[in-house]
């Protein structure tokens, strides 16, 4: 042990004497240190009681090896070679990690990487704590920042050198980036250096804003200003949160006059008197408010010293839709530089309520129109140097969402921060996106006049779109729409909005009258035009299919527009020649001509088409074209006279056709004569039907259903989907008599192939007893008499059991559905006082993603621990709910990392608790 230390000290001393290179090489070659395996070396070193001394011996050994390699590599005639035991290569990342927490210079780390063939991929090969992790796979940048006891100078040198070698400084490890780590340690110097290296793209606003920036003194914030400007360009979401918290804090400053107002997602906020006067400098006459940032009146608020700035738009038309379209582009195409917004409401001292939309500022940006109008070569090059991926994403997104606005002044050009000597590139960023998803005839987009429309769709974007699960994306986006809508509605009808005694009265301008929320009722929320989701599904399917095609030539943006929006492309083609390069002045002129010409005069009958025919349905078996034999059936059920010839044809319909036809029928539209004929000639004669949907058949009785062929023993095991909706004479689903229990006891009805069952609005249904081993979806809504719920469904994923009597016995059955992903128990009531559900333990369903429990009056406590898949919790109207019990005393964000929606309106949980939970999950 001591011999090893002496030998290393001796060789290290020789290495420091430049004139003795030959002696140094000979001594190293003749020593044993080159022959040791890692295990041998480590076993000798670990005998030291001081762990730090062990690591210092390792550093000494590494420095000797590097010196030896450096000398022999310069002399081609040198017979000595560096040959290390394979174990050093096997443990190279582990050893590098050990070196990184010592006073190892950055250059030494790089030379060590070269000797042991450590690549940039090796440097960035890490695993998070939730994976099977060994010591070779810990993030080296996080080690240097968090565990190293060295001073900033050494840490910065190490990270800089490793960055040049290929270290990813935006790597996320244990849910934190290197910049997050520096912020947690309040290490300002390291924080600044990391930003200079390009850190911050994925940093958390919870850490950077709450744990770091908010804690700094004003002087420290001033010092950080140039670095924060760079960070804001990389991470717009972080920028918005910091600006919002600084300009509109959540806590009142006792040393100054301030006014309270409400926001849709960020809780109560305060406006200082200085900022309030800036916003309302023109009083309530918003029309006189100058604006270069929006089509509506806008005021800017800022802290010029800190470089923080936001815009406040008055009288927004559709505030939730602005955020909805932003989320669409962010989640679908990963457009991360879109400005964020926050819908807010302020009430003046006379009770007049004003809606405001607080909008994010885009730093270092210039208007596209201004650049097009410029004559300088530098400005012209900015348009030419728009990043191809940035504009390809924006064009594709614009084609998909069909915004009504998009003039040349509605786009900003912002420089992309770079850390190399490559040519400066620019992002193109849209503003004023509050009216998306309009009819094709209302689209007016200046973007389509740019020369980049002739460029091919970017290969990276094509790869991204090919990988998208469209159904999953639209499902999640619909939840986002619902959430945004609820936030807006909750805000508008919040009766606790405080009036401001600030000397400004509401008059005839802008707001409501006497607190009646007059103009608020004119706001559009996140509810979109019916059919939009279906249209979007069709466009996305078409987009994906077109990009999957093998083509001789790459598809251009123009081609994409003509495929997805042929009416829009037809209008623009009258002003633009495809593949022709336009000058900046001609782009402006073409757009002006386009706007001046009435869109109604542009179209001729040639361009008319039914866009609905282009839509593809969300489910394969709906909205198909009617086949000839179906036409016969439709003629039959719509005639008052039964024609024998038609009956013969109907009896020959295929099972698939019968399924499809019956699903479209509302039986309340037909008299008993037609219904009985239908049952007699179709359902009683055909046992091959796999799916049955009967809606609003008031005359449907037990005797009729018992006669259906599909409910005979031979066929019942083949039924896959069964829907009985609004049938008031159905009393029971069980083995005895299938749907009726007039005599004696019953047992479970076995339906082995059933995957989906709906028994909604069956007001007389009392018993549901089923053995369904493959059931995935079950709905029993508004069955007010349902008392017996005995269902075996081990694979059940989705359960709706709303507005029913649910006691402890029924709830015990629900508790057995361990694979549930979606559960809705809204409006359930207790059969009796002693049979009530008081507490709800969510841990019963480890896979739950969405749980809705609206207006359940008996629940007073919700228990939760670790539900990693949970996305939505809705307890709206649970008037007895007073407590969230979180097991293990850990915060909810760690337990439920995917939780996006938490609705507690109408509960006993106070506003402070609500806001705390909202802030925690955001």
Average pLDDT over residues 600-608: 35
pLDDT at 549 over 70: yes
Q: Which residue has the higher pLDDT, 627 or 596?
A: 596
Supply the pLDDT for residue 133: 45
- pLDDT at residue 825, as a whole number: 93
Q: What is the mean pLDDT of residues 300-308?
A: 90
Arithmetic mean of pLDDT over the chain: 76
| Higher-scoring residue by pLDDT: 758, 293 | 758
Report, in angstroms and rounded to the nearest whole number, the Rg of the chain calculated over CA atoms. Answer: 34
Helix intervals (H) in 185-290: 188-196, 205, 218-234, 236-247, 273-279
In percent, how much of the chain has pLDDT > 70? 72
Total Cβ atoms within 10 A of residue 402 = 24
pLDDT tens-digit map of 433-465: 667 887 777 788 888 888 898 999 999 999 999
pLDDT at 755 over 80: yes
Phi-psi group of 141: left, alpha or beta (phi > 0 → left; psi -120 to 50 → alpha; rest → beta): alpha
| Comparison of pLDDT for 591 and 642, the residue scoring more | 591
What is the greatest pairwise CA distance in the chain? 115
Closest by Cα among 223, 216, 284, 203 to 245:
216
The reported pLDDT for the residue numbered 918 is: 55
pLDDT, mean of residues 727-740: 70
Mean pLDDT of 470-475: 82
Q: Given strand 411-415, what is the order of strands in its sheet?
A: 366-367, 411-415, 426-430
Q: Is the pLDDT of residue 712 over 70?
A: no
Given pLDDT bands bounded at 50, 70 and 90, which one contains residue 488? Answer: confident
Average pLDDT over residues 70-79: 65
Per-residue pLDDT at 518:
41
The whole-number average pLDDT for the span 382-391 is 91
According to the per-residue pLDDT averaged within each range, which of 43-47, 239-243, 530-534, 706-710 is highest? 239-243
Q: Count CB neighbours of 373 within 10 A.
A: 13
d(Cα 763, Cα 590) in Å, to the nearest integer?
Answer: 63
Banded model confidence at residue 817, pLDDT cuts 50, 70, 90: very high
Calculate mean pLDDT across residues 244-258.
82
Look at residue 631 in the predicted model and tell me its pLDDT: 42
> Alpha helix locations (H) across 441-583?
459-466, 470-492, 532-548, 557-564, 566-573
For 2-228, CATH number out of 1.10.10, 3.30.300, 1.10.3210, 1.25.40 equals: 1.25.40
**354 has pLDDT over 60:** yes
Task: Find the mean pLDDT for residues 892-903.
Answer: 73
Q: What is the pLDDT of residue 761?
A: 92
* Band (505; pLDDT cuts 50, 70, 90): very low
Above 70 in pLDDT, residue 491?
yes
pLDDT for res 462: 93
Higher pLDDT residue, 262 or 528? 262
pLDDT of res. 600: 38
Please indicate whether residue 305 or residue 72 has the higher confidence score (pLDDT): 305
Rounded CA-CA distance 25/11 in Å is 9
Q: What is the CATH number of domain 797-922?
A: 3.80.10
Helix %, strand %, coil % for the chain, to 5? Answer: 45, 15, 45
pLDDT at 745 over 60: no
Name the residue ranges covered by the structural domains of the chain: 2-228, 619-791, 797-922
Residue-level pLDDT at 310? 92
Name which of 1-10, 281-290, 627-636, 646-655 the model is least confident about: 627-636
The pLDDT value recorded for residue 614 is: 35
Q: Which residue has the higher pLDDT, 143 or 634?
A: 143
Q: Average the pLDDT over 849-862 and give the result.
A: 92
Contacts of 763 (CB under 8 A, 6+ apart): 728, 782, 783, 784, 785
The string of pLDDT tens digits covering residues 555-595 is: 999 999 999 998 888 888 877 765 566 677 778 877 777 76
Residue whose pair of structure tokens reads 């997050």 in the numeric block: 180
pLDDT reading at 679 higher than 90: no
Q: Which residue has the higher pLDDT, 284 or 602?
A: 284
- Which residue from 493, 496, 486 is spatially nearest to 904, judged by alpha carbons? 486
């Amino acid at each position: 042990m001591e011999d090893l230390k002496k030998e290393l000290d001796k060789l290290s001393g020789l290495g420091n004497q430049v004139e003795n290179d030959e002696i140094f090489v000979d001594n190293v070659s003749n020593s044993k240190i080159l022959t040791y395996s890692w295990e041998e070396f480590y076993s000798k070193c670990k005998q030291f009681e001081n762990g730090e001394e062990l690591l210092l011996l390792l550093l000494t050994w590494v420095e000797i090896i590097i010196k030896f390699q450096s000398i022999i590599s310069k002399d081609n005639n040198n017979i000595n070679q560096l040959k290390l035991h394979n174990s050093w290569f096997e443990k190279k990342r582990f050893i590098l990690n050990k070196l990184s927490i010592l006073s190892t210079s950055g250059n030494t780390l790089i030379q060590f990487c070269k000797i042991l063939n450590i690549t940039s991929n090796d440097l960035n090969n890490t695993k998070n704590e939730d994976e099977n992790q060994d010591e070779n796979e810990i993030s080296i940048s996080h080690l240097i920042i968090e565990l190293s006891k060295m001073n900033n100078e050494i840490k910065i040198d190490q990270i800089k050198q490793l960055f040049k070698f290929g270290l990813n400084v935006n790597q996320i490890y244990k849910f934190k980036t290197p910049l997050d780590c520096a912020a947690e340690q309040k290490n300002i110097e390291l924080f600044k250096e990391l930003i200079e290296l390009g850190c911050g793209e994925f940093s958390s606003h919870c850490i950077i804003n709450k744990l770091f920036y908010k804690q700094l003194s004003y002087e420290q914030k001033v010092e950080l200003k140039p670095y924060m400007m760079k960070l804001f360009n990389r991470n717009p979401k972080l920028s918005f949160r910091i600006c919002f918290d600084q300009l509109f804090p959540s806590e009142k400053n006792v040393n100054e006059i301030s006014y309270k107002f409400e926001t849709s997602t960020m809780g109560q906020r305060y406006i200082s008197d200085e900022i309030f006067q800036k916003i309302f400098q023109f009083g309530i006459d918003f029309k006189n408010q100058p604006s270069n940032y929006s089509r509506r009146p806008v005021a800017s608020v800022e802290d010029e010293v800190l470089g923080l700035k936001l815009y406040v738009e008055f009288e927004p038309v559709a505030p939730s839709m602005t955020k909805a379209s932003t989320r669409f582009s962010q989640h679908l195409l990963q457009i991360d530089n879109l400005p964020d917004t926050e819908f807010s409401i302020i009430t003046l001292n006379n009770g007049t309520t004003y809606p405001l939309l607080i909008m994010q500022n885009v730093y270092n940006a210039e208007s596209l129109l201004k650049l097009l109008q410029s004559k300088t070569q530098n400005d012209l090059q900015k348009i030419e140097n728009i990043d191809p991926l940035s504009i390809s994403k924006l064009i594709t997104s614009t084609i998909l969402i069909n915004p009504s606005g998009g003039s040349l002044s509605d786009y900003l050009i912002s420089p992309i921060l770079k850390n190399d000597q490559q040519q400066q590139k620019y992002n193109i960023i849209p503003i004023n996106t509050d009216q998306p998803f309009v009819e094709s005839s209302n689209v007016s987009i200046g973007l389509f006049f740019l020369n980049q429309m002739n460029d091919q769709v970017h290969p990276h974007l094509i790869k991204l779109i090919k990988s998208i699960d469209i159904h999953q994306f639209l499902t999640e986006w619909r939840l986002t729409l619902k959430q945004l809508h609820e936030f807006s509605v909750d805000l508008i009808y919040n009766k606790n909005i405080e009036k401001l005694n600030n000397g400004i009265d509401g008059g005839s301008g802008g707001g409501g009258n006497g607190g009646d929320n007059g103009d608020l009722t004119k706001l559009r929320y996140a509810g979109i035009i019916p059919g939009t989701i279906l249209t979007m599904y069709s466009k996305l399917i078409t987009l994906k299919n077109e990009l999957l095609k093998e083509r001789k030539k790459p598809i251009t943006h123009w081609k994409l527009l003509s495929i997805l929006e042929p009416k829009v492309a037809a209008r623009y083609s009258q002003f633009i020649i495809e593949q022709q390069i336009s000058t900046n002045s001609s782009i402006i002129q073409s757009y002006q001509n386009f706007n001046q010409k009435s869109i109604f005069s542009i179209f001729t009958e040639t361009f008319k088409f039914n866009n609905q025919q282009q839509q593809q349905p969300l489910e394969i078996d709906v909205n198909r074209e009617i086949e000839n034999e179906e036409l016969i059936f439709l003629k039959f059920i719509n005639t008052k006279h039964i024609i024998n010839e038609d009956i013969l044809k109907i009896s020959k319909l295929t099972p698939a056709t019968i399924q499809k036809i019956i699903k479209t029928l509302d039986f309340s539209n037909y008299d008993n004569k037609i219904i009985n004929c239908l049952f007699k000639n179709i359902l009683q004669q055909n046992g091959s039907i796999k799916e049955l949907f009967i809606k609003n058949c008031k005359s449907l009785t037990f005797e009729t259903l018992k006669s259906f062929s599909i409910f005979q023993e031979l066929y019942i095991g083949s039924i896959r989907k069964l829907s009985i909706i609004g049938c008031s004479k159905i009393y029971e689903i069980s083995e005895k008599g299938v749907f009726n229990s007039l005599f004696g006891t019953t047992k479970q009805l076995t339906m082995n192939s059933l995957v989906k069952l709906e028994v909604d609005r069956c007001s007389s249904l009392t018993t549901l007893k089923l053995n369904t081993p493959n059931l995935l979806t079950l709905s029993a809504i508004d069955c007010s008499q349902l008392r017996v719920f005995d269902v075996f469904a081990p694979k059940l994923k989705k359960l709706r059991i709303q507005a029913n009597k649910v006691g402890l016995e029924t709830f015990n059955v629900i508790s057995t559905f361990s694979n549930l992903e979606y559960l809705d128990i809204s409006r359930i009531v207790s059969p009796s006082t002693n049979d009530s559900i008081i507490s709800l333990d969510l841990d019963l369903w480890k896979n739950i993603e969405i749980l809705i429990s609206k207006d359940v009056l008996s629940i007073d406590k919700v228990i939760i621990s670790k539900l990693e898949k949970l996305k939505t919790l809705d307890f709206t109207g649970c008037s007895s709910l007073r407590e969230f019990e979180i097991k293990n005393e850990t915060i909810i964000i760690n337990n439920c990392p995917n939780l996006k929606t938490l609705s507690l309106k109408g509960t006993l949980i106070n506003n402070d608790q609500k806001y705390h939970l909202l802030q925690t999950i955001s």
